[in-house]
């Protein structure tokens, strides 16, 4: 078993960036909580947020199923190489928890973890929107995040408590070892017409309500939402 560590904790409140009168879509004014700063010492993790954290668009971000965004530290070396951006380091994609020694291939829906005083549960992969692309001025970044599977994953809070950078992350339960974050991403994004796999994933009781609803619409009505509004949005 790997020694999984909460390497860094990041929090940030929504702020307005860009310029109102910018001609380029990528430079226009926008509001987001994606810019986060590292915090030291103990931080209180409540049901829907870390103290000091916040989201601008509560329709698509935040809430009990998406209280904390976790991301693998190891991905950043790849982003630096692929994008040529040396500043792409842990915290750069809006995550709250930078995780060492764990990736999407090793995290499963429903995983229950102890971190400090808190207990958290994996709820869904991140579905990236256009905001990381706007932040880093890479128009197709959300699509790259999605297609590479380097999405990160969301946590719901089962027990509130203080957490701190450097603490171990201890697996307590794994009810769905078959549903890794990597597998969920594959079914959602790479196998939209695989009805059987979609139905199996939609039946996972600890998957977030939002993902289950999307998958059931695919099974029952053949609906596959157009992702362009999410991954490109107002960046063009």
CB 23 within 8 A of CB 30: no
d(CA 20, CA 18): 7
Contacts of 226 (CB under 8 A, 6+ apart): none
Q: Which pLDDT value is given to residue 151?
A: 98
Question: Is 58's pLDDT higher than 70?
Answer: no
- 101-132 confidence digits (pLDDT tens): 999 999 999 999 999 999 999 999 999 999 99
Question: Is 62's pLDDT higher than 80?
Answer: no
Q: Which pLDDT value is given to residue 225?
A: 80
- 134-183 confidence digits (pLDDT tens): 999 999 999 999 999 999 999 999 999 999 999 999 999 999 999 999 99
Q: Which pLDDT value is given to residue 22?
A: 92
Q: Which pLDDT value is given to residue 101?
A: 97
Q: What is the pTM of this model?
A: 0.95
Closest CA to 48 of 33, 68, 28: 68
CB 200 within 8 A of CB 219: no
Q: What percent of the chain has pLDDT over 90?
A: 90
């Amino acid at each position: 078993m790997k020694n999984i560590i909460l390497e860094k904790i990041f929090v940030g409140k929504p702020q307005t960036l860009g310029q109102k009168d910018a001609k380029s879509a990528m430079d226009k004014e926008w509001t987001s909580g994606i810019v986060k700063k590292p915090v030291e010492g103990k931080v209180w993790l409540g049901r829907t947020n870390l103290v000091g954290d916040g989201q601008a668009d509560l329709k698509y971000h935040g809430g009990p199923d998406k209280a904390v965004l976790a991301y693998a530290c190891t991905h950043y070396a790849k982003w630096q190489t692929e994008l040529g951006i040396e500043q792409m380091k842990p915290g750069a994609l809006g995550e709250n928890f930078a995780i060492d020694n764990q990736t999407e291939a090793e995290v499963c829906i429903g995983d229950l973890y102890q971190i400090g005083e808190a207990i958290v549960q994996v709820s869904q992969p991140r579905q990236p929107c256009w905001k990381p692309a706007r932040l880093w001025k890479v128009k197709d970044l959300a699509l790259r995040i999605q297609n590479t599977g380097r999405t990160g994953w969301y946590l719901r809070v089962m027990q509130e408590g203080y957490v701190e950078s450097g603490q171990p992350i201890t697996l307590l339960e794994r009810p769905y070892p078959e549903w890794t974050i990597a597998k969920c991403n594959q079914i959602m994004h790479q196998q939209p017409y695989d009805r059987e796999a979609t139905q199996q994933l939609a039946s996972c009781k600890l998957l977030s309500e939002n993902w289950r609803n999307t998958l059931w619409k695919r099974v029952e009505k053949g609906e596959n939402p157009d992702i362009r509004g999410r991954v490109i949005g107002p960046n063009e």
